Chains A and B, each alone.
Chain A
Amino acid sequence: MSWFKRIKTGITTKNKEKKEIPEGLWYKCPECNNVMTSEQHADNEWICSKCEYHEKIGSREYFAIFFDDNAYEEIAADLISGDPLGFIDTKPYDGRIRSTISKTGLKDAMRVAKGEIEEQKAVIACMDFAFIGGSMGSVVGEKFAMGVDEAIHHNCAFICISKSGGARMMEAGYSLMQMAKTSAKLTQLSNHGLPYISILTDPTTGGVTASFAMLGDINIAEPKALIGFAGPRVVKETIGKDLPKGFQSSEFVLEHGFLDYIVSRKEMKKKVALSLRMFAPDFVEVKHSEKQGK
C-alpha cells in the first residue's frame, strides 16, 4: 500500500498560472539525453558536456570558431544555382532552391571566407548541411574553385570543412563534374606549394568523400562523424547483414588509414593553426601575450 494517494486526477494547474518557457532555451543531447541550456551548449562549441556528442553546425558557427575575433570576408556570397537541367521531381528544382534559400537564409550548401587563424591568413570553405543535405552542385564547385583562387592570390592555406550527403541529384551530370572540377583546382593549389587541410564532419559521404574531402595534405575529422563513400543503408543492402558497430565512423576511418587525426571541436582551431605553422616556410610561434594585449 502506498503512502500517498492521488485524489484529483489530471493536470490541475490553471492555464493562466502556467509558466511559458520560450522555445530553444534548452538543448537535449540526442545521444545521451543530457539536458543543457542552449547558451551553455553554444559556449561549449555545440558539444554535449556529458558525452562529447558534436551537434551538426553550419558555416556561421565554424567561421566563428576558426577566424580570429570572428572577423572574415565572405567570397562569392551571392552565387545561386542556375537549374541548368530544368529538373523536376516531386517539385521543380528552382522552386526547391528558392524555398530553401528563404527557409535557411543560405544561398547554397557552401560558404567561403577569408580571414586569419591565429594570425595566419587562410581561406575556409565550409559546407552547410541545412541546404539540401549539404549536396554538391555547380555552386559548391564554383565557390570551392573561387576559394582556391583566393588562397593562391593571397599565398595562404586553403581549408575545407565538409558536411555533405554527396552530389546533388537535381544537377545530375553537372554535379558529377564538380568532383572533377574541385580536384582540378586542388592540383593548382598544390602546384603553388600551398597547404590544403580537409576537415571531415558529420556526415561526409558520396561524391564529396570521393573528391576534395579525401584529398587533404592532411585529413582531419571531428569525433564520431559518419564518413564514407556509399551510405550505410546501401552497404547494408549490398552485404545483406547488419553493419559492425562503429562502421564508417571517424574512428573507423582513422583506423583504416584515411585520416591523420581526430580532434574535438574545442581543440580544433588550435591544432589546425599549429599544423598551418608547421607547413609554413618558417615556423613562427604565436605570441599569445601580444595577441591578448591588442
Chain B
Amino acid sequence: MQIILIQGFAEKLQPMTYLEFEQPLKELNEQIEKLKESEQKNGVDISKAIRDLEKVLKEKTKEIYANLDPWQRVQVSRHPDRPYTLKYIEYITGGHWIELHGDRTVKDDKAMVGGFGLIDNMSVMFIGQQKGDTTKLRQYRNFGMANPEGYRKAMRLMKLAEKFNKPIVTFIDTPGAFPGLEAEERGQGEAIARNLYEMMQLKVPVICIIIGEGASGGALGIGIGDKVLMLENTWYSVISPESCSSILWRNWDHKVTAASALKLTAEDMHDNKLIDGIIKEPLGGAHAHPDEACALVKKEILKQLEKLNRLSPEERVNNRINKFCSMGVVIGK
C-alpha cells in the first residue's frame, strides 16, 4: 500500500511547475527519474535505491509543507497546476453536469461558471470563479476576476437552485472582483452587496469552499454559506498581501510581512472563527495530486450536506445570519 502511494506520488510530481521553496523536491524527483532511466537502460535492479529516494522525497515534502509560512501558502494557492473550479465540478460529478450561462441582463461572464451537477445521484448547483490554465485561457477567463454580470449570473443560478430546492456549492478562487471601467458602470459594488444580502436568506443549504485565492469582496460575493471551508493551502482576506503592502508601505517589498500580518491562512481564519473548517490537501499540495484533492473535497461536501439537510430552512437561515453577526472583536460592549 505504502509503495503504491509513493509511486503515485512520484509520477504526478513530474510535469509540474516548482515553486522556489520546492526546489529540493525538484532535485529529488530528477534524481529518481535518472535512476529509473538507467534501470531501464541497463536492466539492473536498483528498485531499492529508487524506493529509498522516494521515501526521502516524501519526508522532504512533509517537512517543507509542514513549515510553510503565510507567504508561501499564498504562492501555493496560486500554483498554476492547482485544480480550478471546472476541474472540481468535472471530478465530483463524474462529468454528469450541465453548464448554464448568462445573467439574463448583460452577458455571460467567463470568469464565473456554474450549473447543476450530480453528486452521488443528488442534484447540486455548483458555482465558482474560473481561472484559465494557458495564457490565452487566462485572458478568456479574465484571470478569475468576475464583472458584475458574473455575480448576477451566480445569483440567478442560486435562485434557480432555491426554486427547485437543490443545495448550492460555491468554489472561490479569485484575485478580486474586476476593477474595470465597465464593471463600475454596471455596479460592481451593488452586484456584490446584493449577493451578500440574498445569499444570507437562501432557503437551501449553501457550502462555500475557498479552493485557491479568496480576495476580498470579490470572494465574499459568492461566499455567504452555512459552511465556509478553506482548503489547507489557500488564503482568504480583505486584500492581497501585495496590495496591502503597496497601500501601507507604498511598495510591494513588504508582501511577506503583509501576508503574515493579515492572518490570511486557513489555520488563522479558522482560529479566528471567520471560517467553519479546513479541508486537508494531499501531501505536497492540491497541485501535486489534483484528483486526490478533488476526492477530498467531494467527501467533505457529502459530509456537510448530510448534516445541513437535517436542519429546516429557517434553522439554516437563522444560523447563517447569527454566525456572520457574531464576527468581530470590539472593546466596551
Contacts and interface: CB of A to CB of B under 8 A. Distances in A.
Contacts of A177: 220, 274, 324, 327-328
Contact of B224 (A137, A142, A180): A180
Of the listed residues A145, A229, A243, A244, the one surrounded by the most CB atoms of chain B closer than 10 A to its CB is: A229
A81 to B, nearest CB: 7
A82 B329 contact: yes
A235 B179 contact: yes
A228 B248 CA distance: 21
A217 to B, nearest CB: 12
A214 interface: yes
A178 B325 CA distance: 8
A107 to B, nearest CB: 8
Interface in B163-221: 177-181, 183-190, 192-194, 196-197, 200-201, 216-217, 220-221
A173 B325 contact: no
A267 B289 CA distance: 63
A181 B216 contact: no
Of the candidates B181, B196, B221, B264, the one having the most CB atoms from chain A within 10 angstroms of its own CB is B196
Contact of A229 (B189, B197, B272, B325): B189
Nearest to A78: B332
A195 interface: no
Contact of B328 (A178, A187, A247): A178
A211 B193 contact: yes
Contacts of B283: none
B262 interface: yes
Given A79-B331, A90-B248, A179-B217, A239 B324 contact: no
A90 B332 CA distance: 27
Interface string B258-277: 10011110001100101000
A34 interface: no
B329 A213 contact: no
B207 to A, nearest CB: 16
Interface in A80-134: 80-85, 87-90
A83 B221 CA distance: 25
Contact of B190 (A85, A186, A214, A235): A214
A257 interface: yes
A180 B239 contact: no
Contacts of A257: 187
Given A78-B332, A90-B248, A169-B239, A145 B325 contact: yes
Contacts of B223: 180
A162 to B, nearest CB: 11
A178 B248 contact: no
Contacts of B21: none
Interface string A186-201: 1110000000000000
Interface string A203-226: 000110111111100000000000
A208 B269 CA distance: 22
A169 B244 CA distance: 7
28 contacts: A80-B331, A82-B331, A89-B258, A90-B248, A145-B325, A171-B329, A173-B237, A173-B268, A174-B274, A176-B216, A176-B274, A180-B223, A181-B324, A184-B200, A184-B325, A187-B200, A211-B192, A213-B189, A214-B187, A214-B189, A234-B179, A235-B180, A238-B180, A239-B180, A239-B181, A244-B181, A247-B181, A256-B187
Given A83-B329, A138-B330, A257-B187, 14 more contacts: A82-B329, A82-B331, A88-B261, A90-B249, A142-B328, A169-B248, A173-B269, A176-B237, A181-B325, A184-B320, A210-B217, A210-B221, A229-B188, A229-B192
Closest 5 CB pairs of A and B: A230-B179, A138-B328, A209-B189, A229-B189, A84-B329
